[in-house]
Structure 1
Amino acid sequence: MGKQEDFVLRALEERDVRFVRLWFTDVLGFLKSVAVAPAELEGAFEEGIGFDGSAIEGFARVYEADMLLLPDPSTFQILPWRGMEDGPATARMFCDVVMPDGSPSYSDPRYVLKRTLARAAERGFTFYTHPEIEFYLFKDTPQPGVDPIPVDRSGFFDHTAQSYGSDFRREAITMLEAMGISVEFSHHEGGPGQQEIDLRYADALSTADNILTFRTVIREVALSQGIWASFMPKPFTTHPGSGMHTHVSLFEGDQNAFYEAGAEYQLSETGRRFIAGILKHAAEISVVTNQWVNSYKRMMFGGEAPSYVCWGHNNRSAMVRVPMYKPLKGASTRIEVRTLDPACNPYLAFAAILAAGMKGIDEGYELPREAEDDVWALSERERKSLGIDPLPKNLNEAIMVAEDSELLAETLGENVFDFFLRNKRAEWDEYRGQVSVFERDQMLPVI
């Protein structure tokens, strides 16, 4: 065993850890967990912990069900909401999913991202991401047919005395930082009860792990306060949706590959081609960055959510934005992808964005003209004349484009690509068969 494994085993004893939760996700990004006793962990590091992969969404067919969880010791953390005053501590580690022969499981979303990062690393690139995560807080657990009630009526950046939001954010951030997750900003967002917490930039794999941890921490803190947290992209018709605007950059060693002194917006040719790749393949990867029926309610009717394929400098109507907060600091040059929402599977979403950007670099894509106007305010004819195409308007459109995408099939791998699209098709079919409140309200009184 290595130093990291030794550190974990010592920490278990020193911190009186009685339970270790091994975390991984299914293909859709739902967190899965199995608890093991500390005595089993040394064997788990060497041989893995067996589980039935056929019971997990998208992992395996019944006849190839046996799989193993290999804990990643670099992700070891004590869970701050377990133990403390009420007993022994509980820890967690993320796991890689492998087959009985030790080979990676092609259905493991974490492996999909690791494989894509490895391809970029072969070119000398490290991929960094920095997400701005929005979510809503409600007074009660959601009930079928009952409208959720936000915890407050505050708005963007509001500072309200004795508010739920500020107390909640303070406790959540304290808990996140206790788990080694650095928070850069936090504030009240535009919708009633809507919050935003921005994580500090890190390599994409660490960030994806952190997002899974973040969603768990937020829900735990909410439950401890008798309220409910939701990452649903568009819970209200009349209030803003929740996005996960993500700043991304490529580094070559210590040098920011997106930075070029003296270039327009200090953006290098590598950075321009990366943006061009994301734009060219935007429609194909939408099914991953925005994977739910509800995601497209935010995209089409969500205030500042992007609806069109374009880029701009500090243009918040653009799908990809080039911010310039620190014009004299090259390391800060980055781009902001504004399509993602907080209900995506971050492993797959980051893999798709990186693959699209790298395709732009490898194929030498030319960056289209910058969108300088408010894209939402333009007419369809004006957008068409500027070469600005729409993003998929609903999940069905996203699925149809994705089904023909070589880039997405190659990035996700056959297993994940096939299961993911079949699952999304089933979700769309179920959704379109539902009779909505809107239909009943409009038609029952008059027809």
Structure 2
Amino acid sequence: MPPRAERAARAEDAADRLRTSAVEAVALTWIDNAGIARVKAVPLAGLRHAAEWGVGAAPCFDVFLADDATTTSTHIGGPTGDLRLYPDLDRAVPLAAQPGWAWAPADRYTQAGEPHPGCQRLFARRTEAAAAARGLSLKAGIEVEWVVALTGSPAEPPVYPTDGPAYGMHRLTDLSDYLRDVLRALGKQGLTVLQVHPEYAPGQFEVSVAPEGPVAAADTSVLVRHTVRAVSAAHGLRTSFAPVVEAGAVGNGGHLHLSLWRDGRNLGHGGPGPHGLTAEAEAFLAGVLDALPELLVLGCSSPAGYLRLVPQHWAGAYRCWGLENREAALRLVTGSTGERAAAANAEVKCFDASANPYLAVGGVLAAGLAGLDRPRALPPELTGDPAEAPPGTVPRLPGSALEALAAYERSAVLREALGEPLYEAVRAVRRAEAEQYAAAAPEEVAAATRWRY
């Protein structure tokens, strides 16, 4: 963290910039281990003090569940203690759909000025720095999928504002003013939108933005979701990013795209490996593929996520990889001929939007770097639907939160990367939520979580 005087000067500059957009208050957000965005807000006049001294926030949020119940862990939990939120002023931006407000992600430190060992964003920063120490960088992007419904009470099932078919122009036409305002707001906030389109489920849409570094990509996914929710509210709609909105239907993913780079070169292109992978990129992806069962604890956080993670729904329910294979948990994307040097990437399809994005990107990066430490080739590629392969030939990913947690508890890589306090807090939250819904029917799980994300 920069010295206090430098933070104060930068805060004054940021406040001057935000004041020109008529900003009156700044929302400082962090994401807890249940994947819920928590917030403290300060008036613009208080931004300098927040940058100098931080804003108080209790450490017990690290053991909150999605429904605001709490658990405890070995190192974190209970009513005692306090932390400080420090805004990342480089990411501070006026919120186009919330006039008078700005947003900035926050890092969490102790009152003594030490990094909080449970801070998920600082964890992602550490893994990004570990890659940089090897001369590697990662470009990442998180697809944001959501379902929009008419307003109503939380107990009511969703009523959709369009009956247009999946991926259909009908659906876009019905909500063209709404989607235009989503694009307009994202653009005003400095985000580069690559595409927006109707998705498969009723009332479902997806937006993709340009790739960035891992921490920046996680920040952007948070900002995109805040923006979509605010635009929806302005149109009299409510939004769900939950893994499933209705049990049995296709759910909302939070697919992570990533590419590995060295000295300005995309290591996913021009190499001797499968489909042009270099040896480094192949070893990195082999590490990710091997760790997917335990990575689900970070990327498929809610028990509701396992209602989405089923075969033949393009959710990536099988631990396999393949070129443009949307049923594989790890999909290789080369891009079109002529743009592959820039476009080649891999997509982790088994993640959803209940994830804390900082844990997701940090965990994937840690697993990939561990793959570089014990380099090996990827297993044979799967070219068809894994559900139609001979039984037992293609391994399924865990089918429940408790199965994923068992894999997580065996993972030395994630335990070391996260550090003991964060590792234990994540484990405590996952176990508590798994037990909370252990006896619930799928419809009950969907209903309990659909408006929490």
TM-score by length of 2: 0.88
Cα distance change of structure 1 residues 165 and 265 upon mapping to structure 2, 3 Å threshold:
farther
* Pairing 1:380–2:386 present: no
Matched position secondary structure for 2:158: coil
SS in 2 for 1:155: coil
Deviation of 1:154 after TM superposition, in Å, equals 2.1
Per-residue deviation at 1:230? Answer: 0.6
2:46 is the counterpart of 1:51: no
Aligned with residue 347 of structure 1, among 337, 341, 358: 358
Matching of residue 70 in structure 1 with residue 89 in structure 2: no
Residue 345 of structure 1, CA deviation: 0.8
Paired with 1:365 and 1:230, the residues of 2 have a C-alpha distance of 40
* 1:28 CA displacement: 2.3
Pair 1:64–1:260, CA change in 2 (3 A):
farther
Task: Call closer, same or farther: CA 1:47–1:143 in 2, change over 3 Å.
Answer: closer
Displacement of 1:6: 4.5
The residue matched to 1:234 in structure 2 has which SS? coil
Give, in angstroms, the shift of residue 429 of structure 1. 1.4
Partners of 1:161 and 1:373 in 2: CA distance: 30
How far apart are residue 434 of structure 1 and its match? 3.3
Amino acid across the alignment from 1:345:
N
| Deviation readout 1:38-69 (Å, 9 max, x if unpaired) | 33222322232233333564694457612111
CA RMSD of aligned residues (A): 2.2
| Larger displacement relative to structure 2 (17-26 or 89-98) | 17-26
Shift of 1:355: 1.0
Structure 1 CA distance for aligned equivalents of residues 367 and 288 of structure 2: 5
The 8 Å contact of residues 241 and 302 in structure 1, kept in 2 or not, is answered as no
TM-score by length of 1: 0.89
Q: Distance in 1 between matches of 2:133 and 2:410?
A: 27
Query: Structure 1: which 5+ runs fail to align?
Result: 84-88, 439-447
Instruction: Render the CA deviation track for 1:374-428: whole Å, top value 9, x for unaligned.
Output: 21222314x2xxxx21100111111111112111212222112112111211111
| Change over 3 Å in CA distance of 1:302–1:111 after alignment to 2 | farther
CA distance 1:73–1:263, change in 2 (3 Å): same
> Which residue is equivalent to 2:439?
433
- CA distance in 1 between counterparts of 2:441 and 2:148 reads 28
**1:104 CA displacement:** 0.6
Q: Deviations over 1:325-360 (max 9, x none)?
A: 233331222111111112211100111111111111
Amino acid in structure 1 at the alignment position of 2:103: R
Name whichever of 249-258 and 159-168 sits farther off: 159-168
Q: Contact 1:258/1:269 (CA < 8 Å) preserved in 2? A: no
Q: Structure 2 vs 1, CA of residues 395 and 302 (structure 1 numbering), >3 Å: closer, same or farther?
A: farther
Residue 131 of structure 1: how far off its partner (Å): 2.2
Q: Which residue of 2 aligns with 1:322?
A: 332
Q: How far apart are the structure 2 equivalents of 1:124 and 1:141? A: 51
Q: 2: CA distance between counterparts of 1:239 and 1:177?
A: 31
Contact 2:36 2:354 in 1 (8 A): no
CA–CA distance in 2 between the matches of 1:162 and 1:120?
41
- CA change 1:161–1:187 in 2 (3 A) is closer
* Residue aligning to 1:313: 323
Q: Aligned-pair distance for 1:183?
A: 1.0
Per the alignment, residue 449 of structure 2 pairs with: none
> Corresponding residue for 1:102?
113
The answer to whether 1:360 aligns with 2:371 is yes
What 5-or-longer segments of structure 2 have no aligned partner? 1-5, 65-74, 445-453
What is the aligned partner in structure 2 of residue 173 from structure 1? 183
Question: Which stretch of the first structure deviates more once superposed, 314-323 or 8-17?
Answer: 8-17
Aligned pair partner of 2:95 in 74, 79, 82: 79
CA contact (8 A) 2:87 2:106 kept: yes
Q: Which residue number corresponds to residue 280 of structure 1? A: 290
Task: Show the counterpart of 2:136.
Answer: 125
What's 2:29 paired with?
23
Secondary structure of 1:244's counterpart equals: coil
What residue in structure 1 maps to residue 380 of structure 2?
369
Query: Sequence identity, in percent?
Result: 27
Judge conservation of contact 2:144–2:353 (CA < 8 Å) in 1: yes
Higher relative contact order at CA 8 Å, sep ≥6: structure 1 or structure 2? 2
Cα contact 2:142–2:254 (8 A) shared by 1: yes
CA distance in 2, matches of 1:436, 1:172: 31
Give 1:134's match in structure 2, choosing from 130, 138, 145.
145
C-alpha distance in structure 1 between counterparts of 2:442 and 2:36, whole Å: 27
Deviations 1:259-291 (A, max 9, x none): 225654121111111111111111111111111
Work out the CA distance in 1 between the residues paired with 2:247 and 2:58.
40
Q: Taking structure 1 as reference, are residues 11 and 255 closer, same or farther at Cα in structure 2, changes over 3 Å only?
A: same
Post-superposition offset of 1:96: 1.0
Judged with a 3 Å threshold, the aligned counterparts in structure 2 of structure 1 residues 160 and 101 are, in CA distance, closer, same or farther, namely same
- Conservation of the 8 A alpha-carbon contact between 1:130 and 1:202: yes
AA at the equivalent of 1:82: Q
Q: Which moved more, 1:240-249 or 1:158-167?
A: 158-167
The 1:235/1:429 distance shift into structure 2, 3 A limit, reads: same
Cα-to-partner distance string for 1:190-209 (whole Å, 9 max, x where unaligned): 12211111111111111111
User: What is the 5 A alignment of 1:212-291?
Assistant: 212-260=222-270, 264-291=274-301
- 2:303 is aligned with 1:293: yes
* CA distance in 2: counterparts of 1:61 and 1:276, whole angstroms: 36
* Structure-1 residue corresponding to 2:67: none
- C-alpha deviation, 1:251, in angstroms: 1.5
Moved more, 350-359 or 255-264: 255-264
Query: Which residue identity lines up with residue 368 of structure 1 in the other structure?
Result: P
Name the residue aligned to 2:71: none
